[in-house]
Structure formats: structure tokens, C-alpha cells
Chains A and B, each alone.
Chain A
Amino acid sequence: EAGVAQSPRYKIIEKRQSVAFWCNPISGHATLYWYQQILGQGPKLLIQFQNNGVVDDSQLPKDRFSAERLKGVDSTLKIQPAKLEDSAVYLCASSAGDRGMETQYFGPGTRLLVL
């Protein structure tokens, strides 16, 4: 079974530029998560989708971050415009999500550096 796929793996941009990350979850997984992991910290949830609806986006900086999940499968996370403090690893995870708290499977992450 294929795992969670993410691209690109690395991205370097200048501040005020835009950037987008892509995630393809494990086939059949209803729930998709985007986490931000700043160096030296644990991952922090940015947004959680159940199928293509948003369950939790309370920690998403909505003035610059946006995310969508088309047709309840793939998802994109966008930052526009980027700030220096957005430098982090962006992790996508998915879970079957139909029986309450279930195991989340993580992708390899996208490492973003904002200069």
C-alpha cells in the first residue's frame, strides 16, 4: 500500500513570494491533516479535512494560508505572501477517519525556507 505522498520535498523562496504544497493521502483515507513543524518544535495542526469539508482550521493563519481538498482526495496548501517565520517543514497526514481517533500516517514533508 502506498504511503502519503508530498511534493515538492524542498522549496526555497523569498519573503512575500507565494508557494504551494501538494499532498496525496493513502487511498481511501477520509481524513487529511496539514501540520507545520518549526525547527526544534513538535508538529502543530494547521487544518484538518474530513472528506472535502474542513473540520478544524483554528490554527491556520487565514490572512496568508489557504488549503483545499478537491473531491475529497488530494490537497494543496498555499502560502501567499510568505514570511520569514513560515520557514518550517509542512507535514501532511491521513487517517481512515471513520471510527473516531485513528492512527495518522505521515508523509515525508516539504521543507520550506523563506529568505
Chain B
Amino acid sequence: AQSVTQPDIHITVSEGASLELRCNYSYGATPYLFWYVQSPGQGLQLLLKYFSGDTLVQGIKGFEAEFKRSQSSFNLRKPSVHWSDAAEYFCAVGAHTDKLIFGTGTRLQVFP
């Protein structure tokens, strides 16, 4: 069965520090992979997606993610975090019929 694991429930970083959020997936075929961000009281906003091709994907707000098939991972990175990046981040895999299966999320806290 398809599933997504985000091992880190809560991460705290200092502003300006680098960030990596982990995501592991289980899917039988080549996956469609997504990262969404959710600010308090808001819906989900797409940061980036991987469908095929280059395994390093660039997204909005300076985020990037790397697809590693051998590790079944799709980790999200940012070289320098801003206080406005504090939010909840969700990794998702696109299954057949186009539905998304989400991980449980990682809450990012940014200290000044």
C-alpha cells in the first residue's frame, strides 16, 4: 500500500540556518511526489513537485527537493531559513486515480 513517512514531527532552526525536512515513501511504481506548506489557518500551498526527469527539483520560496529512488526519499531543503518559513510542511505521494496520500507533517519553528 502507498504511504508517506515524515519522521520528524517538530524541527526548530535558527533564522539563516539551513534546513532539511525528511520524507520517505512507499509506492509500487514511479511516484509523483509533492511538498506542500500550510501556515496557521490556511490551506495547503504547493512548494514543488516531482513527476519525472531531473531528480533535483526547484520550488517556490527558495526550496528544493531531491528524489532518491534507491532510498525512497524526497527530502526538502532550503539553504537559509527565514522567520516567515515557520509553518507545517507536508510531503505527499500521488497515487492512481490522482489522489494524494499525505504524511503526518513536520512543524517548523524558526528562532530569530
Does B43 make an interface contact (CB < 8 A)? yes
Binding site for A on B (CB under 8 A): 4, 32, 36, 41-46, 49, 51, 90, 92, 94, 97-105
Q: Kindly identify which residue among B42, B90, B97, B101 contacts A108, using a CB–CB cutoff of 8 Å.
A: B42
Does A72 make an interface contact (CB < 8 A)? no
Does A67 make an interface contact (CB < 8 A)? no
**Known contacts A103-B46, A103-B49, A106-B45; A43 and B98 CB within 8 A of each other:** no
A101: chain B residues at CB < 8 Å are 32, 51, 94, 98
A33 CA to B84 CA, complexed, in Å:
28
A39 CA to B9 CA, complexed, in Å:
13
Binding site for B on A (CB under 8 A): 4, 31, 33, 40-45, 48, 55-56, 91, 93, 95, 97, 100-109
Which of B36, B45, B46, B102 has the most A CB atoms < 10 Å from its CB?
B102
A100 CA to B32 CA, complexed, in Å:
11
B102: chain A residues at CB < 8 Å are 42-44
Query: Shortest 5 CB-CB distances between A and B: which pairs?
Result: A42-B102, A106-B43, A106-B44, A101-B94, A101-B32
